[in-house]
Amino acid sequence: MTNIAILGFGTVGSGVYEAISRCSKKPLNEVNIKYILDLRTFPDHPLADRVTTDFDKILNDESVSVVVETMGGDGVAYKFSLAALKAGKNVVTSNKAVVDKFGRELEEAAKENGVVYLYEASVGGGIPIIAPLNDCFASDDIVRVAGILNGTTNYILTHMQSEGKSLEEALKSAQELGYAEADPHADLAGLDSARKIAILAGIAFDKYISYESIPHIEGIENVTSEDIRLAEQLGCVIRLVAVAKRVGDKASILVAPHLVGNTSLFHAIREAFNAVSVTGSVVGEVVFYGQGAGSLPTAAAVCGDIERVIDGKVSARVRNNCEDGFVLSIDKDDSRFITLSNGKKYRYFE
């Protein structure tokens, strides 16, 4: 029996409870959710008696070996994660903001304390991508990681195209389905995708890269229904794509709406699905596809990390710092542009 605590019982935290309750396989079916930390109460929930507002109770309980941080934000979530690692507890999270900002410090703290800090759920929802990047591609030089990494914007672009919905109408549905961030500006403006590509590029290029070093982060706010229609006439869809490319000993990283032609697998990515393409110098291109947002898919990634902790399949890793100038400025970007018949220019993804 492994005792865990879930910090934050929102979309992902409650999904973790649901995923654990449904699981019939060891070791997850032997996990006991001993505490749920939340400011709210859940009087009708089967685990209502486990809900607490007192983090110290969790910290001081030596029987809790895994803390699941699904709070969001980079304030309290970071403080609690650090405290848990220092107390010798493994931390598993879906929180890309904390991973982006404090990943190095938290991974160092994990290493010093003989535990791990895992964040598979922070990128790509239910798609396993961080563990494969860390393990399966470990002996290959990665030359490109690219992804449709934001479910909300992909859902919006899909519904603007298929049903002629406005961006606002499609956003409202994405919010109702639990895909969007608390502040959907992070989705629409490309910040969420930027955090995710920074995390992936960091692992791929063995450095800590913050999204703040990405020189071009453009969202979908200026994509119009007309653009989508004109793109269709060229056999393309418009998708928000994040791209990190190796350029010599440096990297080019950007987030922008791209025209995607039907020769790319990304052309078929609809709704809130995500896809990640990893190109290794030996293996060539490998594409991962799955549900990039939502309660249960994200919870599935969290549960995969919990399982890896329990089975002892992972050890703490610490990467290098990102030296100044490693991420190239946008004037070095060699993207190919295509001009639509209304005069608007889009990068082309291939």
Positions marked catalytic:
196
Binding-site member from 160, 292, 306, 347 for ligand HSE (CB under 6 A): 292
- Under rule CB under 6 A, residue 178 binds ligand HSE: no
Q: How far apart are CA 262 and CA 232, in angstroms?
A: 10
H or E element: which one contains 258? Answer: strand 250-261
- Under rule CB under 6 A, residue 151 binds ligand HSE: yes
- Under rule CB under 6 A, residue 180 binds ligand HSE: yes
Binding-site member from 100, 107, 192, 305 for ligand HSE (CB under 6 A): 192
Q: Which is nearer to ligand HSE, 151 or 202 (CB)?
A: 151
- Please report, in angstroms and rounded to a whole number, the separation of the first and last CA atoms in the chain: 48
- Under rule CB under 6 A, residue 187 binds ligand HSE: yes
Backbone angles phi, psi at 70, to 5 degrees: -130, 40
H or E element: which one contains 250? Answer: strand 250-261
**Residue 295, number of CB atoms within 10 A of its CB:** 20
Binding-site member from 103, 125, 190, 257 for ligand HSE (CB under 6 A): 125
Q: Report the nearest approach of ligand HSE to the CB of residue 78 (Å).
A: 17
- Under rule CB under 6 A, residue 181 binds ligand HSE: yes
240 Cβ neighbours under 8 A, 6+ residues apart: 148, 149, 150, 153, 154, 157, 190, 193, 219, 220, 255, 256, 257, 258
Binding-site member from 117, 119, 137, 179 for ligand HSE (CB under 6 A): 179
**Cβ atoms 54, 29 nearer than 8 A:** no
Q: Report the nearest approach of ligand HSE to the CB of residue 125 (Å).
A: 6
Positions that interact with ligand HSE (CB under 6 A):
125, 150-152, 179-181, 187, 192, 292-293
